[in-house]
Amino acid sequence: MRDVWTRRSFLASLAAAGASAAFRPSIAAAYPGPRGPILTRAIPSSGELLPVIGLGSSITFNVGNDPAAESVCADVMGVFFTEGGRLVDSSPMYGSSQEVIGYGLKKLGQPKALFSADKVWVSDGGEGPGQIRTSEAHWGVPRFDLLQVHNLLGWEEHLPVLYKMKDAGRLRYVGVTTSHGRRHGDVEKILRKEPLDFVQFSYNAVDREVEERLLPLAQERKIAVICNRPFQKGDLIERVQRAPLPGWAAEIDCANWAQVLLKFVVSHPAVTCTIPATSKVAHMRENIGAAYGRLPDAGMRKKIVEAVEKI
């Protein structure tokens, strides 16, 4: 959505909270990172801190059983964990991505920092538990930290099952997802009525519709937000790289456009983390770099949007 940056309600909410407070990240002493304190946000339902940059696996980790490609994905994961990352996100929808994650985790010695986030993606609620067990086996984990109902498919049947798993200690957090800007009205209704821990949807410097209702609502309801498609599946990166990196990027400690775009996403006070996906080690290093240094304030966020819209 290419709407003009005139959202008085959004800027007013930042002013009410105080710009410095709204954009001041929490710092997790337990995850200091190799470059100093890593930027984190708290999961509202528990207070647990997560680094603001996670790792997605859609498309990029769907490499079949190609040993060379699996090894590269494991290297990407290695950089992610070494640089202080925690949350890895996948889905049964993503082809071989779950198995590739499992391969990488095993090769890396099952990193203790892992925050495992997967999804239920089946229309028949009765098939959900079996799918979850299969996903756990692919990852090689005894339980997931977070399970989400993928694109709301069968959410009415799946959520009660996930809540029971959580109550029984078989799961730590429950959420729902959507992408492509679809079904925002349905997501809003679910956020208002369900005791969710997480919601996931698309958000980036161009697709900003969620600023109007979903992000404020998640903040009001104390629900953690994972943002997918921060690069519009690569289209946004290709777009901004037509222009040189602005000099003001140094003011928010960004060495490349990827970090500028990611810091725009995670500087919104309602966002917990974003999950860029990549199968390249160099890109992983760029992405995780956005979890360090200064974040944009309201004025800088406006400057980022204006710069992107001019390209």
Instruction: Say whether pLDDT at 2 is over 90.
Output: no
Q: How many CB atoms lie within 10 A of CB 168?
A: 8
Orientation of helix 128-139 relative to helix 155-167, angle to 10°: 60
Mean pLDDT of 123-151: 96
What pLDDT does residue 181 have?
75
Secondary-structure class of domain 8-310 per CATH? alpha beta
For the ranges 79-83, 176-180, 284-288, 292-296, which has the lowest average pLDDT?
176-180
Write the pLDDT tens digit of every residue in 45-68.
Answer: 999 999 999 999 999 999 998 999
More confident residue, 34 or 222: 222
What's the pLDDT at 33?
59
Tokens read off for 275: 């999950």
Q: Sort residue 127 into left (φ over 0), alpha (ψ -120 to 50) or beta.
A: alpha
Phi first, then psi, for residue 278 (nearest 5°) are: -155, 155
Q: Determine if residue 308 is left, alpha or beta; phi over 0 gives left, psi from -120 to 50 gives alpha, anything else beta.
A: alpha
DSSP, residue by residue, 120-170: E--S-GGGHHHHHHHHHHHHT-SSEEEEEEGGGTTHHHHHHHHHHHHHTTS
Distance CA 135, CA 114 (A): 16
Rg (CA), the chain: 18
Mean of per-residue pLDDT scores for the chain: 90
